[in-house]
Structure 1
Amino acid sequence: MAEEEVTDTEQAVQPGELSILATVTDGIHVLTVAGEIDHQTGDTLHQALDVSDAAQPRVVVDLARVTFLDSSGINVLIIAHCALTEAGGWLRLAAPGPSVQRILQLVGIDTVIDCHETLQQALTN
């Protein structure tokens, strides 16, 4: 798979902060997210998910390094899912840790947005 770096934000993540590394793999936008997704950091994720300039945008959000997700983060993901679907694309979530996976299941987002155990599964399924 060809990989092209698009954006790179800070790699060291302090408590309460969010870091997003954006790459493109085989035409799929991959956002590797680390830290906490909440009301203070949700806008950063929202901006990273805006790929409205792409035709039929496909996006995978790698949640493996996300330590916290609240309702603000859930809303950002739902808004992105709706926008990407409307544009003829899709959003997939990959590799959520146990605490994030539990939240996704509790609110039922895993029944709305495709969730995969690994990044590789999200890229190929």
Structure 2
Amino acid sequence: MTDPGDAGGAGSATGPSRQLGRLTGRLTVEGRVRVVALSGELDFDSAPLLRSLFQEALDIDGARVVLDASRLTFCDSTGLNALVVARRAATERGSVVSVAAPTPAMARVLAMSGVDTVIAVHPTRAEAVEQAREVG
């Protein structure tokens, strides 16, 4: 794992893939930017995986967490709630959460629920990571 104070992201560490139900997740650490990449379906059964990954991503105050949603095929209200709760926990620690590259279906869910008004949504992972570095 890289030095938590390294905001430049010169090195990176990738944790193992984890799976719960029809959701696979992986945490990548690049300095103060943590990328939580999800693949599959985020629902009642799999939301604990998102919560676990976010808890790990927020292991230091001021961490910048990007949720890579480019391979997320489904998200129900439980998944949205887990995302909003993670954002609240991040804010309390001086951290920031954003969403990167949502599929059209996921972007629609974020917009219809209003979550995109409280969590920044970026069209690409690269843009989200770059913005997170600039904020930090």
* TM score, norm. by length of structure 1: 0.90
The equivalences for 1:54-93 within 5 A come to: 54-93=60-99
**Cα distance in 1 for residues equivalent to 2:25 and 2:11:** 16
CA contact (8 A) 1:3 1:23 kept: no
CA contact (8 A) 1:68 1:100 kept: yes
**Cα distance in 1 for residues equivalent to 2:82 and 2:75:** 11
**Cα distance in 2 for residues equivalent to 1:44 and 1:38:** 10
Partner residue of 1:24 out of 21, 29, 35 = 29
Tell me the amino acid that sits aligned with residue 73 of structure 1. Answer: G
Unmatched tracts of structure 1, length 5 or more? none
Task: Classify 1:86/1:29 alpha carbon distance in 2 versus 1 (closer, same or farther; 3 Å).
Answer: same
Task: Classify 1:21/1:52 alpha carbon distance in 2 versus 1 (closer, same or farther; 3 Å).
Answer: closer
The equivalences for 1:1-125 within 5 A come to: 1-9=9-17, 17-50=22-55, 51-125=57-131
Could you tell me how far 1:3 is from its partner in structure 2? 4.2
Give the root-mean-square deviation of aligned CA atoms. 1.8
Could you tell me how far 1:53 is from its partner in structure 2? 2.6
Tell me the amino acid that sits aligned with residue 42 of structure 1. Answer: A
Could you tell me how far 1:52 is from its partner in structure 2? 4.0
Q: Secondary structure at the match of 2:15?
A: strand
Tell me the amino acid that sits aligned with residue 24 of structure 2. Answer: S
Q: Secondary structure at the match of 2:66?
A: strand
Aligned residues: 122
CA contact (8 A) 1:30 1:60 kept: yes
Tell me the amino acid that sits aligned with residue 35 of structure 1. Answer: G
Could you tell me how far 1:20 is from its partner in structure 2? 0.8
CA contact (8 A) 2:58 2:95 kept: no
Could you tell me how far 1:6 is from its partner in structure 2? 3.8
Could you tell me how far 1:7 is from its partner in structure 2? 1.6
